[in-house]
Amino acid sequence: MSERRFADQFDDLRKGDYYSIPDERLGKIHYSKLATPAKGNIYIMKRFDNNQIAAMLSKELTDSQKYYRDNGYLILRKFIPESTIDAYLELRERLKLGQDSFKDDTSYVEHPEILNIVSYKPLMDVIRELHQCEMGLIFTLTGFQSTQRGWHQDAYLDPVEALPRLASWIACGKVDEDCGPFEFIPGSQRWLALNNNEINKFLKPDYRWPDRHRIRKPDAPGWGRIANP
């Protein structure tokens, strides 16, 4: 299929409930086509120096939106149905995964038990409330233990024209201090961050996004390890 023909058919492709774009085609689709425009103009993630404007806009926000705007996160307790979580845990047991992840980060395409969690409609409703736009699923991280990553901002993964990004951390059981720390700095979503366009300026061509991320020698560090601020 030619690039022109693929682009022409893209609008029809995304009319379904779910769609998937091959990696080799993704670079040909502009970000503006991957999500619908915002439904409201409520500036959830933005703060205004003008107190009068800030107070006026705050009146339009729900309690969840206000908390999310100020802190950058929202906790939903006992949110995903236990039966949905149990089905996922049974799938992991059948596949004998133990603490390991699924074979790739798009296994939700193959396993509805994963998709039923990450596309749970009430969760989608909350995300829509917080960002006032439809958001697509990029990938899932399914390991049962900490990645042991240090402090970082995910903005380095995106170009300057990228649409908003949101991560959902979903617990499959009771979480206490013995589970290990999941750390986040409230309000850090408003800190300045480098996008991958800016980071690429400081890297040799062979180490730039996206080629170094997708194609690399087995023992060589990937783009994320090199560029992670």
* pLDDT tens digits for range 59-101: 778 899 989 988 999 999 999 999 999 999 999 999 999 989 9
Tell me which range, 32-41, 173-182, 186-195, is most confidently predicted by mean pLDDT. 186-195
Q: Count other Cβ atoms within 10 Å, centred on residue 14.
A: 16
Q: Enumerate the domain spans of the chain.
A: 35-193
CA distances from 13 to 19, 128, 137 (A): 7, 22, 15
Report residue 41 CA to chain centroid gap.
22
CA angle 75, 76, 79 (to 5 degrees): 155
Residue 182 has pLDDT above 80, yes or no: no
- Per-residue pLDDT, 17: 46
| Pure H helices in the chain | 3-13, 23-26, 51-58, 63-71, 82-94, 112-118, 121-131, 196-200, 211-214, 223-227
Contact by Cβ (8 Å): 31, 161: yes
